[in-house]
Structure 1
Amino acid sequence: MSLFWRIFLLNAAVLTVAVNLLLFGPVTVSTPVLFTEAVILTAGLAAMLLANAVLLRIGLAPLQRLTRAMATIDLLQPGPRPAVTGHAGIADLIRTFNAMLDRLEAERATSTARALSAQEGERRRIAQELHDEVGQTLTAVILELKRVADRTPEPLRGELHQVQETTRDSLDEIRRIARRLRPGVLEELGLVSALRALTTEISQHSGVVVRQHFDSDLTGLDEEAELVVYRVAQEALTNTARHADARRLDIALRRAPGGVELRVRDDGRGLGQAAEGAGIRGMRERALLVGANLTVGASPGGGTEVRLRLPIANGSN
């Protein structure tokens, strides 16, 4: 029975009872209306409205639950689907909504995978050009400055040496940017070595004291999962260095029941009431690609904690 007919029949039943009471019951209406008759009719109307409200509340309760689910749903944080309850049209509506969510999440995952794949490809291209083109040009400039400085009188030699050191610092910075864009150590030496290099670099440039805890046995992660772990750790460490005003940071990558868990925890000022920015949403998108669960919240000792859990088939401690 459709929602329209259910509401219609509920109201028709209430009105039918009222008419029958007037026709066949002791209730009558005089002209002019007597006080007792007015009291009886008012009480009857109140009873009809109350019964109608209760019946409609019960019948439309599944729609209210669906409305709350629609208002709070977030494709980046999938949750349980609304239970398919109610009759006829309401159950069909909830079922259709759940199917729409499944389709939207699948389409978003596909489009996100394509976008991130293109992004990684562009990062590799830019890193390669920085290394091959800009890096080689600056290296040539450093060598030429050294040659000119060796043939320059003493008053200018010191200035040329200073320019040479500035150029060398710029070359080191470009190489650092290229490594962040394309983590070659991840491809060559593996995830743990790449994370060690990343934390060392962050510690040197930010002054944050970093403590590392990495399990040696992390088999079961494919290349895509390792890249997701690396990029999430990179974003978390960068956010800590830039925005957290932290003095200490703990990063751990360990075996967990059923998978692997990455945890980045700092003692900074925390997230407060700030809304999630593009960096955190980017981490959530990457986590969804490999079926991982990402949580970002307050650290037990103050500051911020980022926790990424990746499931692995037949994973164990």
Structure 2
Amino acid sequence: MSLFWRIFSLNAAGLIVAAALLLGPVTVSTPVLPAEALVVVAGLALLLAANAMVLRLGLVPLRRLGRAMATADLLRPGARAVVAGPAEAAELITTYNTMLDRLESERAAGAARALSAQERERQRIARELHDEVGQTLTAVLLQLKRVADRVPEELRAEVGQAQEATRAGLDEIRRIARRLRPGVLEELGLVSALRSLAAEFTTHGLTVRHHVAGDLPPLTEESELVVYRVAQEGLTNTARHARADRAEVRLQSCADGVELLVRDNGKGLGSAQEGAGIRGMRERALLVGADLSLAPGPQEGTDVRLRIPVAAGGRS
């Protein structure tokens, strides 16, 4: 029975009973006798209690829907409100679930376009850094070398410092370009790219161990890029925020596909809110139908797990 008919039936029953009492032998004296007042108060209390019970039972699905709406997160798809209750409430919950399906689909499509544009922009900036800024710094370095051979002895130390600063800047430009555009991923594949990534962070004060299984199912180029970017962002967060000195990158087969694990021995997640880096990882995971989870490590630190189903990751 719908919520409307429940409330209507209850109110109708109350009015019918009241009319029957008025037309029947029951009378109310003036002034009202205590026994008569007791009967009226008891009948009113019974009617209010029945009305409250019907409303409470009818509004339970709406309260459940409110909790589902308050906790909905498009970056964690799949959660839906349970369709139950009177016809009106069930229809409202069904409409909400349908709207959530459409929002998740539109967000996934929008995120795919945004991240694709982001990758193209990364590649453009990386090429400009390498071709323009890198070549300019290389030319400056060569000029400083020629100048160093002809300057007076008392200025050679300063010219040498300028050479070292220019060389350090050139190395930094190349490192940034490599991070923006992982050429090793395109040229040598995911295994070599992850090893190179671990070596890069190891040279910057973080000891990174890596293990890549040899029996991995094939992944699409898009899935490989997602794995690489999630590993890169995970190690970046570890180096910047975790106060860790050790990390591990592991890529292996799992029950339904491929799993990437980035583990550190840092301070853990704590109560901090998810930043742009973690939201970016979640959006990338959605692109290939993967599941991203963050949890405390077995002893300390943080585990970042990315699971890509075979159906989403396998090459066609």
Query: TM range, normalised to the smaller chain?
Result: over 0.9
Q: Deviations over 1:176-221 (max 9, x none)?
A: 000000000011111111111111111211x122121211222321
Aligned residues of 1:258 and 1:315 also touching (Cα < 8 A): no
Shift >6 Å, 4+ stretches? none
Alpha-carbon shift at residue 27 of structure 1 (Å): 4.6
Q: 1:236 to 1:27 in 2, by over 3 A?
A: farther
Helix, strand or coil at the partner of 2:155: helix
Which residue does 2:167 correspond to in 1?
168
1:134 aligns with 2:133: yes
Q: Which residue of 1 aligns with 2:288?
A: 290
State the distance in 1 between where 2:190 and 2:128 align. 24
| Structure 2: unaligned runs, 5 residues or longer | none
Q: CA deviation at 1:4?
A: 3.7
How far did 1:111 drift? 0.8
Counterpart of 2:54 in structure 1 is: 55
State the Cα distance separating 1:87 from its structure 2 match.
Answer: 3.0
Q: What are the within-5 Å matches in structure 2 for residues 213-292 of structure 1? A: 213-292=211-290
Aligned residue number for residue 63 of structure 2: 64
Give the distance between the partners of 2:20 and 2:246, measured in 1 at CA. 79
| Amino acid in structure 1 at the alignment position of 2:261 | R
The residue type paired with residue 77 of structure 2 is P
Secondary structure, aligned partner of 1:143? helix
* Cα distance change, pair 68–149 in 1 and its aligned pair in 2 (3 A): same
For residues 313 and 175 of structure 2, the distance between their equivalents in structure 1, rounded to whole angstroms, comes to 35
> TM (normalized to structure 2)?
0.94
Matched residue count: 314
Distance 1:27 1:204, change over 3 A: farther
What is the TM-score when the length of structure 1 is the normalising length?
A: 0.93
Q: How does 1:1-317 map to 2 (within 5 A)?
A: 3-21=3-21, 23-24=23-24, 27-205=26-204, 207-313=205-311
**Residue segments in structure 1 that go unaligned for 5+ positions in a row:** none
Partner of 1:308, secondary structure, is strand
3-state SS, counterpart of residue 250 of structure 1: strand
* Conserved? CA contact 1:257–1:315, under 8 Å: no
Secondary structure at 1:32 match in 2: coil
Structure 2 counterpart of 1:285, one-letter code: E
Moved more, 10-19 or 276-285: 10-19
**CA contact under 8 A between 1:244 and 1:269: conserved in structure 2?**
yes
> How big is each residue's C-alpha offset from its partner over 1:41-69, in whole Å with a ceiling of 9 and x where there is no partner?
21221111111111122222211111111
Cα distance in 2 for partners of 1:32, 1:262 equals 83
Deviations 1:201-254 (A, max 9, x none): 11211x122121211222321011111111111111001101111121122111
Identity of aligned pairs, percent? 69
Q: Deviations over 1:250-307 (max 9, x none)?
A: 2211100011111111111122111111111111111111111111122221222111
Residue 287 of structure 2 aligns with an amino acid whose one-letter code is L
Which deviates the most, 261-270 or 173-182?
261-270
Shift of 1:3: 4.2
Q: Is the 8 A contact 2:208 2:248 kept in 1?
A: yes
* Residues 73 and 314 of structure 1: CA distance in aligned 2, closer, same or farther (over 3 Å): closer
For residues 247 and 18 of structure 1, the distance between their equivalents in structure 2, rounded to whole angstroms, comes to: 79
Per-residue deviation, 1:18: 4.3
Contact 1:14–1:52 (Cα < 8 Å) also in 2: no
In structure 1, the residue corresponding to 2:186 is in which secondary structure?
Answer: helix
Q: Residue 288 of structure 2 contacts residue 312 of structure 2 at CA under 8 Å; is this kept in 1?
A: no
